[in-house]
Amino acid sequence: MKKLTWRELNNQLSMMSEGDVWGLLEAEKFGEKRASVLQRLHQRYNTLRVARERIELMSLAVRP
Interacting residues of 43 by C-beta distance below 8 A, sequence separation 6+: none
Q: At 47, give phi and psi (nearest 5°).
A: -60, -45
Instruction: Specify the pTM.
Output: 0.84
As a residue count, the chain comes to 64
Residue 8's pLDDT is: 86
Better pLDDT: 53 or 9? 53
Confidence of residue 1 (pLDDT cuts 50, 70, 90): low
pLDDT tens profile 14-62 = 999 999 999 999 999 999 999 999 999 999 999 999 999 999 999 999 8
Using an 8 Å Cβ cutoff, are 4 and 24 in contact? no
